[in-house]
Amino acid sequence: MLGSQAQVKRTRWQWPAVTGQLKRLVQGLLLVLLTCQVSMSQAEGRPVSEYNIKAAFLYNFSSFISWPEKAPQQDGEFQLCVLGNDPFGEALETLSGKSVHGLSMKIRRLGAGAKTDTCQLVYISESETKHLARLLSKVRARPVLTVSDIDNFVKHGGIIRFKLVDNKVRFVINVDAAERAGLKISSKLLSLAIIVKEDQVTAR
């Protein structure tokens, strides 16, 4: 009888570890599924919108990156904010309401000069290229994931830049900028990225 009770206790103690393993497994499968769906659609001759793919990556970025516990949020929302002209169109609407780290994703489209204090992820449109340095200075060292298509984005301190390689969407991650923002990036996501450090990009 005592042995059975001890076994139950051990089983209960192991649950958190098992739950964590299952969560990581599910996340890994989601990331693989994303890349497979993109490849299959291209292979079968059904063109996939570039920004549909990028929108899917934005969701995966938010799922595979951890924010500090004290990162600002509002009303239980994970806010994905677009600064400048929105190139995604309806593609982002498919992400609205999805769960990210226990928060409901909300899409916000912001004009020039708008505050990003409650945004966890900020996509900076190419329309804001001239204002890039100023925009990045506002979020520097804050727990905000910055993403863009702008050339030299990571060189100016941005965290993730989309890049087309052989007509496929790839992405570059500035790991120093991510660390400065207090963001922790999953090794699974890093394995799919082009990794750069600030001493590398500033030397170019």
The model's pLDDT over 127-167, given as tens digits with 9 standing for 90+, comes to 999 999 999 998 888 999 999 999 999 999 999 999 988 88
DSSP-based three-state secondary structure for 152 = coil
pTM here? 0.77
Domain count, the chain: 2
Residue 32: per-residue pLDDT: 47
Encode pLDDT of 38-73 as tens digits: 443 444 444 458 899 999 999 999 999 999 987 666
- Whether residues 113 and 42 share a domain: the answer is no
55, 43: one domain: no
Range of the domain at 16: 1-48
Strands (DSSP E) found in the chain = 65-66, 77-83, 99-100, 103-110, 121-124, 145-148, 160-165, 168-174, 184-185, 194-196
Phi, psi of 103, deg, nearest 5: -110, 155
Say yes or no: 54 and 44 in one domain: no
Residue-level pLDDT at 113: 74
Q: Are residues 132 and 60 in the same domain?
A: yes
Looking at the fold, whether 36 and 59 belong to one and the same domain comes out as no
* 38/93 same-domain check: no
Same domain, 37 and 89: no
The reply to whether 106 and 6 lie within a common domain is no
Please give the torsion angle defined by the CA atoms of residues 43, 147, 149 and 82, in that order, rounded to the nearest 10 degrees.
100
Tokens of 36: 């497979």
Q: How large a percentage of the chain has pLDDT more than 70? A: 72
Say what the pLDDT of residue 176 is. Answer: 96
Phi then psi for residue 166, to 5 deg, are 55, 45
- Residue 184 sits in a domain of what CATH number? 3.40.50.2300
